[in-house]
């Protein structure tokens, strides 16, 4: 059984043989006709075979929908909703809808939900939280909240204060029992156990090494301070403040390094909560903010003119490298993921690429649609002639049991950089073609949600930060829309 997220807020459980078919239909509905510009003709968009989301209901695939995701849980708690009993009649409601408003609080979502105590529908409104600043973020929030609310209403969620009170009492009783069960665990033991878990979950070796190194540095530092820390519960806000000062003053690290170190420590603490080694109540990291950093310039995107020039030169001198560049551009795959890509991961029948847990940065099975331009590249590679376990890319320039070397792509692209005179700038990389695709796609459609899906970002905020680092998301029409006085 495999879990996939066809919508970022709803988890679907489906049989493994149906992952590609179901995923492509959802991608066809949201991504069809909108993907990055092709290096072939430099048009700002391309199309993906449109199977249609409406066919989903007629599919033979068995789908189990779980509405108890963290996002839905927040909605349920905010409006004090409860689910109907198995044999209870469906409660009446009015679907959620977006209301455009010029009032101070701005646009909001309005819906009517059944109140059992009042035996009638009551109006509820959901406003945009203040943390959503940009138009793209606000629109994405409204769309997601509306979809979540309607799913909950259709499943019979309603207001029943008596039932809510009983559920809350049961919840508090459970939390009290769990708290009593918790016993102090040493940070060093927790670190060792988490490393074992990460290896079992196929985390990247470099990521595990970084996790171990940063946590060991924290443990060593904690043993030197006046009130030494040994157990997980010793990590409190005061300790984190001290560690921040150590990073910034003693180690003299920049803001970005500070954020990375604190991020590792925060991930460790979150993992401990998931393992029930410590209570999630009063998480000290909730008070810790990231320090502001300048957006990086690494992996700079290329202009369409630069792409056209490079394509002509690469096809004449190293055509196999252009295949690698095309995969990076069309699929948004990372170099490490390209090295791990196998023939069996590419399904031309379903028109998808599967990025498995061993090679996925997010530690999940990602489904990526195959764009028309990439399909041409794949077709000419004649992958059907090779074993499904062969690596797509190898030093022999054809699928092979031996994967391509770690430095192959970098070395071959260095020749391109040298020819065009930007070999002295480390910010120009092969991976920059992925950023080039994101720039072209966003300029063509201004759809941040589609970029989020293709980049496989977990939140819109991450995508917004990513696009800002590429010099996008600036509202060029803001001043022109300013009214006269």
Name the residue ranges covered by the structural domains of the chain. 87-182, 187-278, 304-469
Q: Residue 101: its pLDDT value, please?
A: 94
Of the candidates 203, 148, 201, which has an alpha carbon nearest to the alpha carbon of residue 8?
Answer: 148
Q: pLDDT value at position 11?
A: 44
Half-sphere exposure at residue 344, Cβ-oriented, CA atoms within 13 angstroms: 6
Q: Would you state the pLDDT for residue 474?
A: 58
**What percent of the chain shows pLDDT beyond 90?**
52
How confident is the model at residue 294, as a pLDDT? 61
* Spans in the chain with pLDDT lower than 70: 1-71, 178-182, 294-297, 357-364, 473-485
Question: Which fold would CATH assign to domain 304-469?
Answer: hpI Integrase; Chain A (1.10.443)
Quote the pLDDT of residue 5.
45
State the pLDDT at residue 438. Answer: 87
Handedness of CA 332, 338, 340, 343 (dihedral sign): positive
Burial profile 164-186: b = 16 or more Cβ within 10 angstroms, e = fewer: eeeeeeeeeeeeeeeeeeeeebe
- 103 burial (CB, 10 Å; 0-12 / 13-18 / 19+) is exposed
What confidence score (pLDDT) does residue 179 get?
65
Q: Nearest 5°: CA angle at 57, between 54 and 58?
A: 95
- Measured distance CA(410)–CA(103) in Å, rounded: 54
Is the distance from CB of 247 to CB of 261 less than 8 angstroms?
Answer: yes
Q: For residue 99, what are its two tokens?
A: 């209301």
pLDDT of residue 357: 56
pLDDT at residue 360 in the model: 43
> 294-331 burial string, b = 16+ CB within 10 Å, else e?
eeeeebbbbeeeebeebbeebeeebebbbbbbbbbbbb
**How many Cβ atoms from other residues are within 10 Å of residue 23's Cβ?**
23
Residue 60 phi/psi, 5-degree rounding, is -80, 0
At the top level of CATH, which class does the domain 187-278 belong to? mainly alpha
């Amino acid at each position: 059984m495999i879990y996939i997220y066809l919508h970022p807020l709803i988890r679907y459980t489906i049989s493994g043989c149906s992952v590609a078919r179901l995923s492509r239909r959802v991608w066809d509905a949201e991504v069809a006709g909108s993907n990055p510009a092709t290096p072939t003709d430099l048009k700002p968009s391309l199309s993906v075979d449109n199977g249609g989301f409406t066919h989903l209901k007629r599919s033979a695939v068995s789908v189990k929908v779980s509405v108890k995701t963290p996002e839905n849980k927040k909605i349920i708690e905010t409006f004090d909703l409860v689910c109907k009993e198995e044999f209870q009649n469906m409660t009446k409601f009015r679907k959620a809808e977006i209301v455009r408003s010029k009032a101070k609080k701005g646009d909001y979502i309005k819906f009517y939900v059944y109140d059992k105590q009042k035996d009638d529908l009551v109006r509820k409104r959901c406003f945009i939280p203040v943390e959503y600043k940009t138009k793209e973020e606000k629109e994405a929030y409204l769309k997601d909240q509306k979809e979540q609310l309607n799913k909950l209403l259709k499943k019979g969620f309603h207001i029943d204060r008596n039932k809510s009170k009983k559920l809350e009492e049961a919840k508090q009783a459970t939390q009290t029992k769990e708290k009593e069960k918790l016993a102090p665990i040493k940070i060093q033991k927790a670190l060792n156990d988490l490393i074992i878990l990460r290896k079992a979950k196929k985390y990247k070796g470099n990521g595990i090494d970084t996790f171990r190194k940063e946590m060991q540095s924290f443990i060593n530092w904690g043993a030197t301070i006046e009130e030494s820390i040994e157990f997980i519960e010793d990590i409190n806000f005061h300790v984190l403040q001290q560690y921040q000062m150590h990073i910034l003053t003693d180690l003299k690290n920049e803001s970005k390094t500070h954020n990375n170190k604190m991020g590792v420590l925060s991930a460790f603490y979150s993992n401990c909560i998931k393992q029930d080694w410590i209570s999630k109540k009063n998480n000290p990291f909730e008070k810790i903010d990231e320090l502001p950093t300048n957006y990086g310039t690494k992996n700079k995107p290329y202009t369409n003119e630069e792409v056209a020039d490079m394509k002509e030169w690469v096809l004449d001198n190293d055509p196999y490298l252009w295949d690698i560049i095309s995969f990076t551009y069309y699929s948004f795959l990372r170099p490490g993921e390209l090295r791990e890509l196998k023939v069996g991961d590419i399904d031309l029948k379903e028109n998808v690429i599967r990025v498995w847990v061993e090679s996925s940065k997010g530690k999940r099975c990602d489904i990526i649609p195959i764009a028309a331009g990439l399909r041409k590249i794949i077709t000419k590679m004649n992958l059907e002639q090779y074993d499904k376990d062969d690596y797509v890319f190898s030093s022999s320039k054809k699928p092979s049991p031996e994967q391509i070397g770690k430095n192959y792509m970098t070395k071959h692209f260095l020749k391109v950089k040298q020819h065009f005179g930007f070999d002295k700038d480390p910010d120009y990389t092969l991976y920059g073609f992925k950023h080039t695709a994101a720039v072209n796609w966003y300029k063509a459609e201004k759809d941040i949600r589609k970029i989020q899906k293709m980049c496989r970002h977990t939140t819109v905020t991450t995508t917004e930060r990513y696009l800002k680092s590429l010099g996008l998301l600036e509202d060029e029409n803001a001043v022109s829309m300013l009214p006269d006085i």
